[in-house]
A and B are shown apart, each in its own frame.
Chain A
Amino acid sequence: METAIDSIPERDAAEMALARARRGDPNAFETLYREHRGRVYGLALRMTREAGAAEELTQDAFVRAWRALPRFRGESRFGTWMHAITVRTYLQSKRSMDRRSEREVEDEDMDRYAFAARRAMPGTDIDVERAVARLPDGAREVLVLYDVYGYRHREIGEMLGIAEGTSKAQLHRARTLAREFLAR
């Protein structure tokens, strides 16, 4: 919980876990995993729109984070850094998937996604989740990062490897399209 992290003892515990994990302590890294897995999985699910792929992405992201941890300089929060790794891992996976097969998202896919989203996030607004999930990749990625997770266009541009202006344009397109989907 964000509020728990913000309390001094919890924050100190999180910083200690981070410091120990950076020195190669897997038990400390488990603490970080348990603290952040919900947020990483939530993003992974909205990026991949498929429970199995989201699990795989979450696992890959944490493994990569462990390997890159000695170089984590603390310029951003660990949670933000984890999200950046998750997005990069997702993009790499998507590129290899795109080479193998490209297909339209169908209603069945949306039903499966809605089921997975409801199971993972029982209180979520399924109609909005569906509308967001129907968006084209580029638009959906920006909208999720900007409107759901609160990142700024500059940060989103760095994560997705796009220009800040492109991020803004994609957000406008995403909001327009998603409102149309929701109205149907």
Chain B
Amino acid sequence: MDDMDHENDTRDEWLERVAALPETAEVVPEQWEEIRAAIAPGPARRWWVQAAAAVTLLAGGLAGGFAAGTRHAAAPRSSIDEAMALAAEVQRTGSEYVAALAAFTAVVDSLSADARVQGRDAAIATLVGAASELAALTDAELALNPLAAPGGAGAGRVRF
């Protein structure tokens, strides 16, 4: 009985000490400027401008690359147009994916646990699929141009 009472006293003392811990920090890092920058509407608009610029650069780069390539080996015009269209499609759907993910993230706090998990899993599955295709693209590219791989099959074979 004494032991039990002692146990209860110990528990009560312990609980009192825990309950007496302050809920609020008195010294808090000043973070308002960072938060204000993060919530400002500007970055979203800038992001779209950057995405549009990236499409332009990508298309320009592709056009330049194809133009240089066709000086030596004239590729059929239709295949160039098709490649550019596909690259632009990759850029457009990629941008849509990021925008959709941002929209999901913005509302995630209001969703049920199931919906959050479902949305996150869908986002990850899409990303994994894209990464897999990108890895295949890189492999195919390296097979065409081994010298592009640092330390790859072509490295060390360059002779001047």
| Interface set of A (CB-CB < 8 Å, partner B) | 26, 29-30, 33-34, 37-39, 41-43, 45, 55, 58-59, 62-64, 66-68, 71, 85, 88, 119-125, 128-129, 132, 143, 147-149, 161, 175, 178-179, 182
Contacts and interface: CB of A to CB of B under 8 A. Distances in A.
Interface of B: 10-11, 14-15, 17-29, 31-32, 34-36, 38-40, 106-107, 109-110, 113
Main SS class of interface, A: helix
B22 A121 contact: yes
B39 A42 contact: no
Nearest to B29: A55
B21 A120 contact: no
Main SS class of interface, B: helix
A52 to B, nearest CB: 10
Contacts, number: 102
Nearest to A58: B31
B27 A59 contact: no
Given A26-B39, A66-B39, A123 B15 contact: no
A105 to B, nearest CB: 19
A25 B20 CA distance: 36
B25 A128 contact: no
A39 B109 contact: no
A143 B35 CA distance: 29
Contact of A68 (B20, B28, B36, B110): B110
Nearest to B39: A66
Given A42-B22, A121-B22, A121-B26, A161 B31 contact: no
Contacts of A175: 11, 14-15
A68 B35 contact: no
Contacts of A119: 27
B20, B32, B34, B106 pick with most chain A CB within 10 angstroms: B32
A115 B53 CA distance: 48
A38 B25 contact: yes
A37 B27 contact: no
